[in-house]
Chains A and B, each alone.
Chain A
């Protein structure tokens, strides 16, 4: 199953898990399964169906905007990394 790599700012939605295995054939599908029933988590990542402007998603270390965006196909061993901007210094 593909694995979602979760940044610490989102782990309060995942019982503090940093890796969550989910099914899905595209980036959109895996993210949809990842946010699942949590409306709060969905709201943190998506705004009206689009990725929020402070969230970047990578497949196997590449920004999905270098690939096919949310339509990028996902295979069983792929890693989907969510990056959220952080401002602390």
Chain B
């Protein structure tokens, strides 16, 4: 990096830029050369959501010359609790468009390249090859493994951040100088052990903390200042308010970075459920037909009350997974008879269809009910959950979900 210190190829800064970035220029470790390197540099943000919001805004404000945004989603109301690059005025608009407008308002000189696509095996190399630094702010394991593998293959640094509930993680994976993501975590968890933010929750400010740190690392990589988080992982606990840095190791037998780079083949990561499948499953279309035919089956929404507020299937009984699991535990421990619990609402001799948002939590409830003596051949899991439901919905206030009174 030091060879570039007096690199005449670096772009010059105009009078307006010298004023705008004056607080950077007076930092002795930073100065004019680092600012010119930022202007010459480029960063690709994978995900313009919780983590991508602060990184996009801070990198644009800091004067990074060219920033790419990869996100196929549009802004939804539930995003605004943490995705502060967006706002009410951009609900329903592509996230890349919404974030780009805020970034341009902070720094009209930044070149913004919008990619309204899912990163996939077919486009990852082409997209990533065009940038100096990659910032992983995605919300799912398959994309994280794809970002890692493409970065290792192309020799790009990957500024990794992950958040869930109150926990955050941050590292810089650069296989040329240290471990990659697969050195640390070779495979994703089985899906039943891998809740996402929609299912497990996330404190809204948490991605702000981790995303701002990702922006810090990206700026350090682009300018060559400081010590990047290579070979280390920062672990943040928002409840205890602790930041801990741990030393992480390169895996000699890493499935990605231990062999020659040009032999790495990108492949799709499929999340698999390792828990034994219990009960039966039903597709949304089939359920819709049976409900339309007036069949007497019991339908149960096992999501949380906050999710019921966003709409349910009209005929559904709303019994959350925690409440049902607690009832099963009470029955199994001999503490209560089934008819004195929520289970009283669930007939043992008739078909019951259960659903959650994706099908994971309802599968777990089916396992619990089976343990409590229900016949698994009468228990159905709605495939793809409420997320895959295209039939009629009871919106809040329109049709109140039926909820039995909790047992004493």
Contacts and interface: CB of A to CB of B under 8 A. Distances in A.
A88 B139 contact: yes
B202 A56 contact: no
Interface stretch (A22-30, A31-39, A60-68, A70-78): A60-68
A81 B246 contact: yes
A88 B49 CA distance: 10
B164 to A, nearest CB: 4
Given A86-B163, A87-B196, A89-B138, A58 B246 contact: yes
Contact of A88 (B197, B239, B247): B197
Contacts of A81: 235, 244, 246
B118 interface: no
Contacts of B184: 56, 63, 85
Contact of B169 (A53, A58, A63, A83): A83
Given A8-B239, A18-B239, A87 B167 contact: no
Contacts of B68: none
A88 B138 CA distance: 7
Interface stretch (B18-26, B97-105, B185-193, B257-265): B185-193
Interface in B48-88: 49-52
A47 B296 CA distance: 42
Contact of A53 (B161, B187, B197): B187
Contacts of B207: 88-89
B193 A87 contact: no
A83 B137 contact: no
Contacts of B153: none
B193 A44 contact: yes
Contacts of B165: 8-9
B52 A89 contact: yes
Contact of A87 (B140, B235, B249): B140
A52 B189 contact: yes
Contacts of A89: 47, 49-52, 136-139, 161-163, 197, 207
**Which of A65, A66, A89 counts the most chain B CB atoms within 10 A?**
A89
Given A9-B200, A86-B164, A87-B138, A63 B246 contact: yes
B39 to A, nearest CB: 27
B51 to A, nearest CB: 4
11 contacts: A18-B239, A54-B187, A63-B249, A83-B233, A83-B235, A85-B169, A86-B167, A87-B144, A87-B164, A88-B50, A89-B47
Given A8-B239, A56-B184, 5 more contacts: A9-B167, A54-B188, A63-B249, A88-B202, A89-B138
List 9 A-B pairs, minimum CB-CB distance, nearest first. Answer: A53-B187, A88-B197, A86-B164, A85-B185, A89-B139, A88-B164, A54-B189, A53-B186, A86-B162
Interface of B: 47, 49-52, 136-141, 144, 161-167, 169, 184-189, 193-197, 200, 202, 207, 233, 235, 237, 239-240, 244-249, 251
